[in-house]
Structure 1
Amino acid sequence: MEYKFIAIPDCLLSIGTCFVLSAIFISSLYVWNSHHDRDHSSTIKKRFLSVFIVMLISPAFVYFAINKETLEKRTLWHILGLRTDGLLQALLLPLFLTMVLFTGPIYMQRYNGSLKMYADPSYWTTNIRNLIWLRNHIVAPLAEEFTYRSCMLPILLQCFSPMTAVFVCPLFFGAGHFHHVIEKMKKGMKFKHAMMVSCFHCFYTTIFGIYSAYLLLRTGHFASAFIVHAFCNHMGFPEFHELVNYEKKQKILACTVFVVGFVLWCLFLNPLTEPTLFHHDLHL
């Protein structure tokens, strides 16, 4: 997909549009007058409604901010990555690639026995009725990827090179997580500690955002970013501290698996995201 670069004033408009979109997304979480924390069922339901409304209005920002010549070549839905051609590959290949990256954590789950729970039907039937699980694995990845990737990346591609846009886009996503400082302080955490935790959260969400934006850019599919986000939310940040409790041989083996997984991910990253596999015409 080719984007025509626009003048500096219009480029500032693109960045401003992304900033406004991010502000609207975060603000929508706090429009409700509630004394409950983020994990309370009433809070979760209200925030579900908020982010779905934001998802409905976000394409309008893209429509008005995107270069009209681009809209003449592609439909708005195609620009947003909502298309069917290459959909199966877009779901399976990025997920497999990300599982390779998480080979170490998956091995740790096998070692501690938690990997078996996925074969238990009750695990799925219980979680599908759990609002926190639905938020973390379905709604949050759906809303965040659509707003911060599908809507913002096409806008930024107008004034940045593809790889620069991939690095700029996640800055809005990472910075958006600083709102958790408020919630942490409400739970009694001191400001300094809350800021340190949020800075770390901002850092690794920005790193993930770069990866997610790259997948969307290469595959041209929103589905790729969504499925990978859901998987990463499930796995969480690798719990490296657990390795100290392993026996020496198991510790060496686990560390080796981590390294091998990362090396294989680096080797497979470009081949498994080759745009032609997804019937996408953007070549990097």
Structure 2
Amino acid sequence: MAAIVLDVAAWQAVLLCFLFAVIYVGSLYVWGNLSGHDRDHPDVIRRRFISVGVVCLCAPVLLWMFSDYGDGPDAHYIWEWMGLRFPWFGLTLIFAAVFPLILTMILFLGPLYLHYMDGVFRLYLEPRYWSNSIRNYVWVRNHIVAPFSEELIFRATMLPFLVPAFGVGWSIFLCPLFFGVAHFHHMIERVIRGQAEVADALKQTVFQICYTTVFGAYSAFLFTRTGHLMAPVIAHAFCNHMGFPAFNEVLGYPQPTRTKLIALFVLGLVLWVFLLFPLTTPWLYHNDVYYEI
């Protein structure tokens, strides 16, 4: 089988990425109204699992259809461009699962300490917590299906088009724009279901677009640096579990606890910045797809 050299024009790359985003979001609504149930209803989630699964199967086919074939020194197989690599007997896959997770946990050092103070960590030691979670459709969606499907579509099938056209640096900032804007459909859902007024729904959606775009840039960074889809999927699942940091909760604690929490938030950010590049060094993951090593 011939290796693949992905080479598309800039405008083609943007249009294809836009197409992937539209198909992904559109797949969530192919089932119609479903008796007015909201997005957390089990019937809605089950059917969206099916439609998103179909999209995830079709996306690699579209990537292959618009790929150019060649046997040059920079050629790689399509699954390598998508971050599905198993060199060195899977050792780098383990690195891709562990190191980005540790890096992301460091960033959330403050929120993790809040979880410790609130006694949340004790839940993780309870087998019943995990057995109940795996039977909960919302939990499965947030921790398994959404992280994998969104990273597959918005990173593994978009970046192979964007990087050859724009380079790694620009692609890291372009790719999350499609991911952020794709969340605009939440505003429509909130308004249609009467969950919020248009102005309030717009504010919530703009805020959501902003932080999902920032996360999308971080996720694209992890993907291109490690060359593994596993890295952003694990980070995505962890961030979905933690949610947006509860800064307001910190301010509600008395002194000296408040100062300690603020210090941990700052320390986590500083350590994350310091370790960001060392823990994602491409040679550590044998990543010669997006970087020369």
TM-score where L is the length of structure 2: 0.92
Query: Residue 144 of structure 2 aligns with which residue?
Result: 138
Equivalence map 1:152-191=2 (5 Å): 152-188=158-194, 189-191=196-198
SS at match of 1:32: coil
Query: Residue 80 of structure 1 aligns with which residue?
Result: 82
Letter of the structure 1 residue corresponding to residue 266 of structure 2:
V
Shift of 1:84: 1.7
Shift of 1:82: 0.7
Letter of the structure 2 residue corresponding to residue 68 of structure 1:
Y
Tell whether 2:226 aligns with 1:219: yes
Shift of 1:111: 1.3
Query: Residue 129 of structure 1 aligns with which residue?
Result: 135
Aligned residues: 280
Letter of the structure 1 residue corresponding to residue 260 of structure 2:
L
Distance 1:97 1:70, change over 3 A: farther
The answer (yes or no) to whether the contact 2:5–2:69 under 8 Å persists in 1 is: no
- Unaligned 5+ segments in structure 2 are none
Letter of the structure 2 residue corresponding to residue 45 of structure 1:
R
Letter of the structure 1 residue corresponding to residue 255 of structure 2:
K
Tell whether 2:272 aligns with 1:265: yes
Percent of residue pairs identical: 42
Query: CA RMSD for the aligned pairs?
Result: 1.7
Letter of the structure 1 residue corresponding to residue 259 of structure 2:
I
Distance, in Å, in 2 between the alignment partners of 1:3 and 1:249 is: 57
Distance, in Å, in 2 between the alignment partners of 1:155 and 1:209 is: 16
User: Of 201, 204, 210, which residue of structure 1 is paired with 2:211?
Assistant: 204
Distance, in Å, in 2 between the alignment partners of 1:278 and 1:65 is: 27
- Unaligned 5+ segments in structure 1 are none
The answer (yes or no) to whether the contact 1:100–1:262 under 8 Å persists in 2 is: yes
SS at match of 1:248: coil
Shift of 1:61: 1.9
Query: Residue 277 of structure 1 aligns with which residue?
Result: 284
The answer (yes or no) to whether the contact 2:6–2:67 under 8 Å persists in 1 is: no
Shift of 1:192: 1.0
Tell whether 2:66 aligns with 1:65: yes
Equivalence map 1:19-38=2 (5 Å): 19-33=18-32, 34=34, 35-38=36-39
Stretches (4+) displaced over 2 A = 2-6, 64-72
Equivalence map 1:97-116=2 (5 Å): 97-116=103-122
TM-score where L is the length of structure 1: 0.95
1:173-205 deviation line (CA, Å, top 9, x unaligned): 000000001111133111111111000000000
Return the structure number with greater helix share.
Answer: 1
Query: Residue 51 of structure 1 aligns with which residue?
Result: 52
Distance 1:3 1:260, change over 3 A: farther
